[in-house]
Chains A and B, each alone.
Chain A
Amino acid sequence: MSSRRSRSRQSPSSAINDDQIIELVSKLQQLLPEMHTRRRSDKVVSASKVLQETCNYIRSLHREVDDLSERLSELLALSDHAQADVVRSLLLHQ
């Protein structure tokens, strides 16, 4: 919390700094899989590109979660019909 105070010493009000945004965007960039693997990417990347990649990445993550939940629902429904208790106790025991 102290660092927050030091960071926003000049703008306690709702004025959003450019630097803050740049900081956050570069933090996002670290998370993106493509831009993170390239160690040499010291080049300047435009903020809008980072944001676009972020949107794409979130969408792909959503899609992956959807696929996984479909798969899980099938597997769970399968286990529902046959040996439900066994599988469920196995799950819960974890």
Chain B
Amino acid sequence: MTAMVSDAAVGTDRRRSGRLRRNKKHRAQLVQREAEEGRSHERWRSELQHKLYSAKLMEALARLRLAGDGGGGGGGEEVRVVPTRGRTVRDAADRALAFAAKGRTRWSRAVLMTTANRVKLKFRRIRAGGGKGRLGVTGAGGGRWMGRKGKGKVSVGRLRGKGSAGVRRKVRELGSLVPGCRVEPMNVVLEEATDYIAALEMQVRTMSALAQLLSGGDSDAAPAAGHGHTSS
């Protein structure tokens, strides 16, 4: 009889907390995935991130005033020179991307701060102390990644000394490409670069899917743009 009671209890529990458990499980899975993997590549490839970013991007784009000709609607208030349309879109996309990074990386913070306001650069220096501490999270993720990924391990040529001049030069070049990494030490630059590349890839994927959607693309469009199908 005890068995029956316990079974019934389990049954009701399951039914009652089924929804809760599913939500909890889902959330736990997400958190687990984000924390355990920690690998920037995985994070930027997840469906959730893709959806978040595309939603943010569309929101931002819809707000933009792109019809520069004809209407002095938006142009009257802005004192600055209105940049070319492509540039505006690109800046908006970059800002949305940096926002999606949730400020966990240096490049995302740099992108957000430059576009917001020049005055905010003052706060940037003060934030630098907190920012460096926060970067530890990505560092941990990196270490864990290396331990996990066994297949396809490639070896890199040994560096002579603490990074020979050639390598250092290349890292500097890399630093000038990744926003906000021009004067950072080598390991920071490399770390940021990996995350930045993964994020850029996602940006490209999302934007091309969006462009296909807008131009009434073929049915071979990306699966993410599934429901917007105005297949003519």
Contact = CB atoms under 8 A, between A and B. Distances in A.
**Do A and B associate with each other?**
yes
Interface of A: 1-4, 6-7, 14, 16, 18, 20-31, 35-36, 39, 41-48, 50-52, 54-55, 57-59, 61-62, 64-66, 68-77, 79-81, 87-88, 90-92, 94
Chain B, interface size category, equals 35 or more
A69 B193 contact: no
Given A20-B187, A69-B87, A75-B215, 14 more contacts: A16-B162, A16-B185, A39-B152, A44-B155, A45-B156, A45-B157, A48-B166, A55-B173, A58-B177, A58-B200, A65-B207, A72-B61, A76-B64, A94-B228
A3 B85 contact: no
A28 B153 CA distance: 12
A65 B152 CA distance: 29
22 contacts: A4-B140, A16-B187, A18-B158, A23-B142, A24-B142, A24-B194, A27-B190, A28-B194, A31-B198, A46-B157, A47-B170, A48-B167, A54-B197, A59-B177, A62-B177, A65-B90, A65-B207, A68-B207, A77-B67, A77-B68, A91-B61, A92-B59
Interface in B37-73: 41, 54-55, 58-59, 61-62, 64, 66-68, 70
A70 B102 CA distance: 26
A55 B196 CA distance: 12
Contacts of A21: 159, 163, 167, 186-187, 190
